[in-house]
Amino acid sequence: MFDSHYLPLINGEFTAFTEETFPATDATTGERLAVITRSGAAEVDAAVAAAKAAFPAWSATPAAERAKLLLKVADWLEENTERLVRIDAHDIGRTVFELPQDYRQAIGQYRFFASAISTHDGWNNVTPGGWAIAKREPLGVVGAIIPWNVPAIMVSFKLAPALAAGNTVVLKPDENASLSTLELAKYLAEIFPAGVVNVVPGFGEEAGAALTGNPDVAKLAFTGSTEVGRIIAHAGASRLVPVTLELGGKSPNIVFPDIDDIDAVVDNVTFAATFCNGQSCLAGTRLFLHDDIYDTFMEKLVTAFRSIRVGSPLDPETRLGSVVSPKQGERVLKYIETGKAEAKLITGGERVEVPGHEAGWFIAPTIFETTNDSTIAQEEIFGPVLSVIRWNDFDTMIEQANDIRYGLASGVYTSNLRNAMRTADRLQAGQVWVNQYVNLVDGSPFGGYKESGLGREVAKETLDAYTQLKSVMLAEQVPPPFYV
């Protein structure tokens, strides 16, 4: 399933200029899965140079030909989903139950942008004595940096639009989740011209810094924490190159008292807070629950949380695996201790031991009753921890839902159209999901307000961020003499 050693993909070849490596370890057993060459400035600079050299030919390749290759990537992922799911389960501790959805979404991205590029152009218009034309052109070398929580999705979010638009790419996966990306890189090296796609695994302070600072990178695309996003934004600003950022979140999930099926809403609220082991920037981690149904809903919600099966990510019956690393586990437990001091712990709140997986940091699904100004309600925990906030006044609830530095996603549960529309209109979030949390659809723009980022992904508008407009004015003839 794994190679013993993975190298960076540079100019169509797997090569490196250093003998330094870092281990890929099983998130739950601590077993070494493979070693990965630790890319630094030398590897990154070589990858950027290769991407720059490949750009003229790739950007001149007809969009239909670029689309064919993206469709091949989608087909390969579809054929290899089962194997890649198991790799990710080992690498990052997420369950084989939910990981297939990552690959379905990633496959959809490659197919969507393969189609979208065929209609992504500028405009033209007749002017007196000629034509005015605006044409879209690719930017050049894209430096893309992705996180560890959903590697298949993150790779597709960056590669699909960038390549469809005619850019070349240098991609840095996270050091905690490189294996499935490097497995994909083997296939990318087979089908794309040398230098079009380059993959440089490594650490942020080395490979990431070298990539963001390279003067030949024409665009930066980053998904990760807001704190690192600021660093990326400063790097882009210093060189005046465009930057897109998909950053953190602390999303409100709002339940109105008029819901028709309380059990179905409880199930979806539970999913919203715990999928991806709670390690998702768009997770619904602030639950605004109305007074009129509070006690009944909470009783069912606690039962649902306590019934979640925590265990080996490789067990198809497991619904919650381990967080990605000891560092992340300690971070989550520290927030839980803070919550115990300032809020009311309802259930969970501890590390769970799973036989045979003692190295894994399994966190019991956790619920706190709290207020919106508490630390655990305001800061992104990135673990299966839900803050429940009671509400009874609509305006106050909306004010609190928006009283956060983030604005990535949100949820609303109601059977009343007016409630849905007025809530969606007033929420300061890039996504509002009504009656189904994480209702992601190919072509629907995804991105955040406020400190949750800049730009939109997943949609046709994304192609605008990977291209620039050139105006061409065509006149029938040279105008009459002006100075004579």
pLDDT (tens digit per residue) in 127-144: 888 888 899 999 999 999
Q: Cα–Cα distance between 7 and 5 in angstroms, integer?
A: 7
Domain ranges of the chain: 5-247+448-471, 252-434
Closest CA to 38 of 244, 152, 206: 206
| Nearest to 170, CA basis, from 194, 201, 144, 204 | 144
CATH number of 5-247+448-471: 3.40.605.10
CA dist., res. 22 & res. 401, Å (int): 41
CA 278 → CA 14, 55, 364, 366, distances in Å? 34, 39, 11, 10
Distance in angstroms (rounded) separating the CA atoms of residues 227 and 211: 17
Is residue 248 within 8 Å of residue 380, measured between CB atoms?
A: yes
Query: pLDDT at residue 67 above 90?
Result: yes
CA distance 369 to 386: 9
When the candidates are 3.40.605.10, 3.40.30.10, 1.20.1250.20, 3.40.309.10, the CATH number that belongs to 252-434 is 3.40.309.10
Q: Do strands 123-127 and 130-138 pair parallel, antiparallel, or not at all (unpaired)?
A: antiparallel
* Span 432-449, pLDDT tens digits: 999 999 999 999 999 999
- Look at residue 405 in the predicted model and tell me its pLDDT: 98
What is the chain's alpha carbon radius of gyration, rounded to the nearest angstrom? 24
What is the C-alpha to C-alpha distance for residues 236 and 28, in angstroms, rounded to an integer? 37
C-alpha distances in Å from residue 284, one per residue of 163, 184, 365, 383: 32, 31, 14, 11
Residues in the chain, how many?
A: 484
Which tokens go with 126?
A: 């007749």
Which residues lie closer than 8 Å to 339 by C-beta, 6 or more apart? Answer: 345, 349, 366, 368, 370, 374, 375, 376, 385, 387
- Contact criterion met (CB below 8 Å) for 325 and 27: yes
* pLDDT at residue 128 in the model: 86
Phi first, then psi, for residue 88 (nearest 5°) are -65, -35
How many CB atoms are closer than 10 A to CB 173? 27
Q: Please give the torsion angle defined by the CA atoms of residues 44, 47, 52 and 54, in that order, rounded to the nearest 10 degrees.
A: -170
Write the pLDDT tens digit of every residue in 290-338. Answer: 999 999 999 999 999 999 999 999 999 999 999 999 999 999 999 999 9
Catalytic residue positions, numbered: 246, 281
Residue 123: predicted pLDDT = 80
3-class DSSP assignment, residue 363: strand
Q: Tens digits of per-residue pLDDT, 402-428?
A: 999 999 999 999 999 999 999 999 999
For the chain, counts of helices (H) and of strands (E): 14, 23
Q: Which amino acid is at 41?
A: A
Q: Which of 269, 285, 246, 255 lies closest to 404, judged by CA?
A: 285
pLDDT above 90: residue 126: no
d(CA 15, CA 159): 21
Element (H, E) at 221: strand 217-223
Neighbouring CB atoms inside 10 A of 135's CB total: 14
Per-residue DSSP letter, 323: B
Answer whether 59's CB lies under 8 Å from 165's CB. no
Q: What is the pTM of this model?
A: 0.96
Supply the pLDDT for residue 234.
97
At residue 258, the 3 state secondary structure works out as coil
Q: Is the pLDDT of residue 231 over 80?
A: yes
Q: How far is CA 267 from the centre of its chain?
A: 23
Question: DSSP secondary-structure letter at 391?
Answer: E
Within 8 A by CB and 6+ apart from 21, the residues are: 5, 35, 36, 37, 38
Q: What is the band of 122 on the pLDDT scale with cuts at 50, 70, 90?
A: confident
CA distances from 479 to 414, 483, 484 (A): 64, 11, 12
252-255 and 411-413 strand pairing: parallel
Q: What is the mean pLDDT of the chain?
A: 97
pLDDT for residue 482 is more than 90: no
With residue 143 as reference, give the H or E element that holds it: strand 141-145
Q: Reply yes or no on whether the pLDDT at 479 is more than 90.
A: no
CA 167, CA 159: separation in Å to the nearest integer?
Answer: 9
